[in-house]
């Protein structure tokens, strides 16, 4: 059997202490007097320290360490901005037309007031507002009984005058025969001839009276002077109208006119017959072709604008008077010109510029601009761009110079 461990405190032989007495502590002096060394107790902290060192050793040596190359390899991230193909324009030479913007209000090329030529009571109105009529159609009838009676009276008077004229002519012939034989005096011959002239004049006068009566009777029938549409009706059956009273307004809508004001300095190159492209408010999606019909040689009073009249064909009568139109007068064309969408042009303190795509990066490209082109969506570039250059065509405010970009592949 192994001996039981002793519970007594272990003592050690005294070790020599060469310190002088004045430098020794009270404890050292007491132990020196007793002839023993101080007891040393074994604390549990030593055991804890040993276990900790063992644990650190286990943790510091992993079961399998990954290769150093894999742990340190950089991860590539694509930071380029993706652009839709519609936001990119490839510059190409093209033939461009300069245009002069204009606007105005349409009116029928022919619109007249139809007035009564005679006084009387309206018997019948044959048309309504908006009716389409042809030349010679009856629009209104005025009572004509009295005028018909007057015409018959004048016709009867004409018959009487014709008979008197024949009698005077016969008497003049007899007087000449008698005068030739010496039977009748010369004075009688002169009287017969004078009477013949009077009767001839009366006959002509009566013929004129009959014609006037026929005209008065005809004027009771108000007829359309040309093909058109009734734009206003101002008379009703039973209404008494005076001579000269306006009865209708008739408009010919087969073509329309628009008077447009153009700066007098820009009216110099304009010529009759030049083409004008127009859009009409209220008819979206439709374009109309017009042509210059007249140009005022002087500016309007109180302004520096010249009036330019534009005619627009309107075969289907879809255009109406009073519609607002805007458009462009086609000016000279520019062949092989460089133009870009107006939205792609940017402005800042440095002047006009575009964002050009070069080697996958946005580059600020200064440009010099020219005149606005037809349609107003394009603007000419005098310098700064060449054919095949690619630029950002939309107003993408978040794009800046120096950004990396990539164009989305179609599909």
For every residue of 28-81, DSSP letters joined together read HHHHHHHTBPPP----THHHHHHHHHHHHHHHHS-SSPPPHHHHTPPPP---PE
Q: pLDDT band for position 321 (50/70/90)?
A: very high
Q: Pick the closest to residue 102 from 256, 305, 377, 379 (CA basis).
A: 305
Number of Cβ atoms within 10 Å of the Cβ of 151: 21
Structure tokens at 143: 């009572």
Percent of the chain with pLDDT over 90: 39
Residue 21 lies in a domain: no
Domain count, the chain: 1
Q: What is the average per-residue pLDDT within 328-346?
A: 84
Are the beta carbons of 110 and 409 closer than 8 angstroms? no
Does the residue 224 lie in any domain?
no
Task: Determine, yes or no, domain membership for 362.
Answer: no
C-alpha span between 395 and 345 (Å, rounded): 8
**Residue 168: its pLDDT value, please?**
72
Q: Which of 303, 325, 306 is nearest to 256 (CA)?
A: 325
Question: Do the beta carbons of residue 286 and residue 323 sit within 8 Å?
Answer: no
Read off the CATH number of the domain in which 201 is found: 1.10.287
Tell me the pLDDT band of 183, cut-offs 50, 70 and 90. Answer: low
Report if residue 232 sits inside a domain.
no
- Is residue 102 a part of any domain in this protein? no
45 has a pLDDT exceeding 80: no
Strand partners, 249: 113, 232
Averaged pLDDT for residues 187-209 = 76
Distances (CA, A) of 323 to 107, 254, 302, 326: 8, 15, 25, 10
- Residue 156: its pLDDT value, please? 86
Question: The domain containing residue 212 runs over which residues?
Answer: 144-219
**Model pLDDT, residue 74:** 59
pLDDT at position 2, please?
Answer: 45
- Percentage with pLDDT > 70 across the chain: 75
212 falls within a domain: yes
The answer to whether the CB of 139 falls within 8 A of the CB of 123 is: no
Q: Pick the range with the lowest mean pLDDT from 119-133, 149-163, 333-347, 369-383.
A: 369-383
Residue 150 lies in a domain: yes
What phi and psi, each to the nearest 5 degrees, are found at residue 56?
-60, -40
Query: What local confidence, expressed as pLDDT, does residue 170 receive?
Result: 75
Residue 193 forms part of a structural domain: yes
């Amino acid at each position: 059997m192994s001996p039981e461990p002793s519970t007594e405190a272990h003592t050690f032989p005294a070790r020599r202490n060469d310190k002088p007495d004045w430098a020794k502590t009270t404890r050292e002096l007491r132990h020196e007097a007793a002839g023993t060394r101080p007891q040393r107790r074994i604390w549990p902290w030593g055991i804890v320290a040993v276990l900790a060192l063992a644990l650190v050793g286990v943790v510091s040596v992993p079961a399998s360490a990954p290769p150093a190359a894999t742990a340190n390899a950089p991860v590539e991230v694509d930071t380029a901005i993706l652009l839709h193909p519609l936001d990119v324009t490839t510059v190409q030479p093209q033939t461009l037309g300069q245009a002069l913007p204009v606007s105005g209000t349409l009116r029928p090329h022919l619109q007249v007031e139809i007035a009564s030529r005679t006084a009387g009571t309206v018997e019948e109105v044959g048309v309504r507002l908006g009716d389409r009529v042809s030349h010679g159609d009856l629009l209104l009838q005025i009572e004509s009984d009295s005028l018909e009676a007057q015409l018959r009276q004048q016709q009867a008077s004409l018959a009487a005058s014709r008979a008197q004229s024949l009698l005077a002519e016969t008497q003049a012939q007899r007087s000449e025969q008698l005068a030739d034989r010496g039977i009748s005096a010369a004075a009688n011959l002169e009287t017969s001839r004078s009477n013949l002239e009077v009767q001839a004049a009366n006959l002509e006068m009566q013929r004129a009276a009959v014609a006037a009566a026929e005209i008065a009777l005809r004027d009771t029938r108000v007829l359309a002077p040309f093909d058109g549409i009734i734009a206003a009706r101002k008379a009703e059956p039973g209404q008494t109208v005076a001579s000269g009273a306006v009865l209708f307004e008739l408009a010919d809508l087969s073509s329309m006119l628009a008077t447009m004001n153009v700066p007098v300095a820009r009216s110099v190159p304009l010529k009759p017959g030049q083409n004008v492209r127009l859009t009409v408010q209220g008819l979206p999606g439709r374009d109309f072709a017009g042509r210059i019909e007249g140009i005022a040689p002087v500016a309007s009073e109180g302004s520096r604008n010249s009036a330019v009249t534009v005619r627009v064909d309107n075969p289907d009568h879809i255009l109406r008077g009073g519609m607002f139109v805007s458009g462009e007068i086609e000016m000279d064309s520019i062949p092989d010109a460089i133009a870009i969408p107006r939205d792609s042009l940017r402005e800042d303190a440095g002047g006009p510029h575009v964002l050009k795509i070069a080697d996958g990066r946005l580059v600020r490209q200064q440009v010099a601009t020219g005149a606005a082109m037809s349609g107003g969506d394009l603007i000419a570039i005098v310098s700064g761009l060449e054919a095949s250059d690619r630029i950002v065509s939309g107003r993408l405010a978040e794009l800046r110079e120096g950004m990396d970009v990539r164009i989305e592949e179609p599909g």
